[in-house]
Amino acid sequence: MKLFKHFDAESIDHVLEMVTATNGKTALMAGGTDLMGVLKSELLAAYPEVVINLKTIAGLDTIKMVDQECRIGATTRLTDIAASEPIQTTFPALAAAAASVGSPELRNMGTIGGNLCQDTRCWYYRYPDKMGGRIPCYRKGKGPCHAIRGENRYHAILGGKKCYAVCPSDLAIALGALDARVKVVGPTAEQMMPILDFFNVLGTVLKPDELVTEIRIPLPSKTAVQIFLKNRVRDAVDFAVVSVAVMVDQEEGVCRDARIILGAVAPTPYRAFAAEAAINGKSLNETHVAAAAEAAVKDAKPLSQNAYKIDITKALIHRALLSS
């Protein structure tokens, strides 16, 4: 790795001051489980001169129930989210997603803010600079998406155009189903944005001088059922091949509101509106659930090696809805 200065931030204002003072030549670090790999492989367009540790900001790692919503500080560890009694009780999909990330070591270091902001795992994008040279690509600012003609078994089947890398974050998928919002703070303004608006095809909409400070989740209806399912090649220390998070509210056997979010099938968390429409106002029987699963992938355009993701997506939706 190259040398960089390391600062322990004391407050959010301190972070913003340092980012401004260094003219943006900074990288924010929470658990560092993703950032350290990114720096070692020299993936960023410019190597940061300063790394700012967010974990030293007091009070940024708490889980609180306030005013009909849950507020989770950006540096809250995944271990603490998975083990939190209020999260397990009220947001079981989020607890399951947090528990599914990597390994105990990664969950002990990794944070919710870092999980949402982590860089993609596309193997062309991640190819280390020191092993035969960096591979330029659309996501790095210049060049084609090599997955289109290359090894693309883990890439997008939906919504890929110039970049087929998928969003790697498990928590984003569960938070999408829970209709969470992300608090983004910059030097001049702060905003709450719906979690699905936080992502774009090249990662997140964060500007270089902004950071995530909190995630807010509205309390769900008492009758809503939440499920997070993740298919992966091996059961430990592995990213999703496909994941599905659903929140379904039923009244007298009829689905009155459904949110269905798909993970690892698109460059962003993918809201399956067509699948939701296929079950809203209907009972969750075999026929309607099968129709929802078909509708979810009707726009899929798989690459040469990843059509199998269509079947996995349908199977996960089917399983999640039938157990709702």
Ligand X SMILES: Cc1cc2nc3c(=O)[nH]c(=O)nc-3n(C[C@H](O)[C@H](O)[C@H](O)COP(=O)(O)OP(=O)(O)OC[C@H]3O[C@@H](n4cnc5c(N)ncnc54)[C@H](O)[C@@H]3O)c2cc1C
Work out the number of other CB atoms within 10 angstroms of the CB of residue 32. Answer: 18
Closer of 111 and 306 to ligand X (Cβ): 111
Between 286-296 and 308-322, two packed helices, what is the crossing angle to 10 degrees?
140
Quick one: CA dihedral 66, 204, 319, 232, positive or negative?
negative
Q: Does 29 bind ligand X (CB under 6 A)?
A: yes
Q: What angle do CA 244, 222, 256 make, to 5 degrees?
A: 65
Q: Does 157 bind ligand X (CB under 6 A)?
A: no
Stretch that binds ligand X, among 5-13, 124-132, 162-170, 193-201 (CB under 6 A): 162-170
**Residue 20 DSSP SS3:** helix
Work out the number of other CB atoms within 10 angstroms of the CB of residue 6. Answer: 10
What residues between 65 and 84 interact with ligand X by CB under 6 A? 74, 78
**What minimum distance in Å lies between the beta carbon of 68 and ligand X?**
24
**What minimum distance in Å lies between the beta carbon of 231 and ligand X?**
12
DSSP label of 233: S
What residues between 228 and 247 interact with ligand X by CB under 6 A? 237-239
Quick one: CA dihedral 310, 150, 162, 100, positive or negative?
positive
**What minimum distance in Å lies between the beta carbon of 32 and ligand X?**
5
CA distances (Å), 278 to each of 177, 284, 285, 299, in order? 17, 10, 12, 15
Q: Does 93 bind ligand X (CB under 6 A)?
A: no
Among 101, 272, 284, 293, binds ligand X (CB under 6 A): 101
Q: Are 198 and 138 in contact (CB under 8 A)?
A: no
Closer of 50 and 315 to ligand X (Cβ): 50
Work out the number of other CB atoms within 10 angstroms of the CB of residue 207. Answer: 11
The interface mask with ligand X, positions 174-213, x = CB under 6 A, is --------------------------------x----xx-
E strand segments, 63-116: 63-66, 69-73
**What minimum distance in Å lies between the beta carbon of 274 and ligand X?**
25
What residues between 261 and 300 interact with ligand X by CB under 6 A? none
Among 114, 176, 220, 267, binds ligand X (CB under 6 A): 114
Closer of 235 and 252 to ligand X (Cβ): 235
Residues in contact with ligand X, total (CB under 6 A)? 32
The contact set with ligand X (CB under 6 A) reads 27-35, 54, 74, 78, 101-102, 106, 109-111, 113-115, 117-118, 168-170, 206, 211-212, 237-239
